Amino acid sequence: MRRNLGNMLIAVMCVMLTAGCETMRRWRALSDAPAAERLKALEKQMETLTAQIEQLEEELRFNVASNQVSLGKYEDAIKGFTEVVGRYPTSTHAASSLYEIAKMYKYNLKDYAKAKETYDNLVRRYPKSDYVRTASFEIADCLMELGRKSDALAQYRSVISKFGRDPVVEKAYFEIGEIQQQDKKFTESRVSYEKLLELFPSGALRPAAMHRLASCVLALADTATAIRNYELVYTKFPSSDFSELAFFDRLTVLVAQNMDSDARAAISDYMIRYPTGRFRAEVDRFQQKFESKKSSAP
């Protein structure tokens, strides 16, 4: 940390020395000019030099605060970023500083009320910032953490209405679907997941949304469609985190529906696809169940 600060201070001093030398050179060049003209030129040069020093100071303060984050000194980092916003409210680092403060409150300090307040402040003060879309989504997440489900749903829907096909909209559809599913509003949840899949054909959340969709359809007693949807997950996204889960959920449905032939085939397929899978113990129990049934048959 001290080494980084020393290097940054040396850099500042070098720039100031270079700028000062350049200023002196220009002063000599202007020595033959009329006094009023020289004074005006010198004032302009001093303004330029002052602006450069302020920019370097701003950069230094922002970098120091960033280093505090990496060291886990979140309160010090928040103080540093707050000073950046206060001293340089129109700079490019102001919005970045508010965003960093909000992230620390949410993810490190788990203070969701302050996180929401900071995200709100960012959106209000810097509506054209690149952080606005993500901040708007994070506000909804904070509302959920604060137990304000209806407000969170309204905020997720606001994100959807404002930001077209931005990735935060995909995330908003997914979160809405999850909330509806948890509330056992399976028809509404199904619509949310289907809309996500329609609007984001290459979205990062497609495997998860397809799996959730299959679960909703199963809850609506459409077993055949649920089985097909589970199949889509592991056939289209074999390397995703939801591949094995979807395969196991499909197998569980087959067993529950007494579709013994399909279930036995699925068990054999599971052993090949996932030889060290996390559901191996459960699949072994299914296999033992079928073997016991076969041996007890007349």
Q: Convert the chain into a string of H (helix), E (strand) and C (coil).
A: CHHHHHHHHHHHHHHHHHHHHHHHHHHHHCCCCCHHHHHHHHHHHHHHHHHHHHHHHHHHHHHHHHHHHHCCCHHHHHHHHHHHHHHCCCCHHHHHHHHHHHHHHHHHCCCHHHHHHHHHHHHHHCCCCCCHHHHHHHHHHHHHHCCCHHHHHHHHHHHHHHCCCCHHHHHHHHHHHHHHHHCCCHHHHHHHHHHHHHHCCCCCCHHHHHHHHHHHHHHCCCHHHHHHHHHHHHHHCCCCCCHHHHHHHHHHHHHHCCCHHHHHHHHHHHHHHCCCCCCHHHHHHHHHHHHHHHHHCC
In a domain, 61, yes or no: no
Is 5 a domain residue?
no
pLDDT attached to residue 56: 81
pLDDT at 2 (0 to 100): 44
pLDDT digits (tens, 9 = 90+) for 49-106: 555 657 788 889 999 999 999 999 999 999 999 999 999 999 989 999 999 999 999 9
Among positive and negative, which fits the CA dihedral 5, 6, 7, 12? Answer: positive
Q: Span 252-265, mean pLDDT?
A: 96
The answer to whether position 67 is within a domain reads no
**pTM to 2 decimals?**
0.82
Q: Cβ(105)–Cβ(111) under 8 Å?
A: yes
Q: Is the Cβ–Cβ distance between 293 and 261 less than 8 Å?
A: no
**Cβ atoms 255, 285 nearer than 8 A:** no
Question: For residue 262, is pLDDT > 90?
Answer: yes
**What is the reported pLDDT for 234?**
97
Q: Which residue has the higher pLDDT, 231 or 34?
A: 231
Q: Is residue 227 part of a domain?
A: yes
271 falls within a domain: yes
258 within domain boundaries? yes
Residue 23 has pLDDT above 60, yes or no: no
Whole-number Cα distances in Å, 35 to 40, 42, 56: 9, 10, 31
- Residue 30: predicted pLDDT: 47
Under 8 Å between Cβ of 198 and 172: no
pLDDT band at 114 (very low <50, low <70, confident <90, very high): very high
Of 78, 82, 87, 155, the residue nearest 109 (C-alpha): 78
Has residue 31 got a pLDDT over 60? no
Domain of 289 in residue numbering reads as 217-298
Encoding tokens for residue 188? Answer: 């509404």
Separation CA 288–CA 129 (nearest Å): 59
Which amino acid is residue 66, in one-letter code?
A: S
Tally the residues of the chain.
298
Q: What is the mean pLDDT of residues 114-129?
A: 98
pLDDT: which is higher, 133 or 23 = 133
Task: Please tell me the distance from the alpha carbon of residue 116 to that of residue 146, in angstroms, as a whole number.
Answer: 10
Q: What is the pLDDT of residue 292?
A: 86
Mean pLDDT value across the chain: 88
pLDDT at 150 over 70: yes
Assess if residue 251 is contained within a domain: yes
Task: Give yes or no for a contact between 157 and 134, defined as CB atoms under 8 angstroms apart.
Answer: no
73: tokens are 């000194």
User: What are the pLDDT digits (tens) for 1-22?
Assistant: 444 544 554 454 444 444 455 5
Instruction: Tell whether 187 is covered by a domain.
Output: no
Kindly state the average pLDDT of the residues 232-243: 97
In the chain, how many domains are there? 1
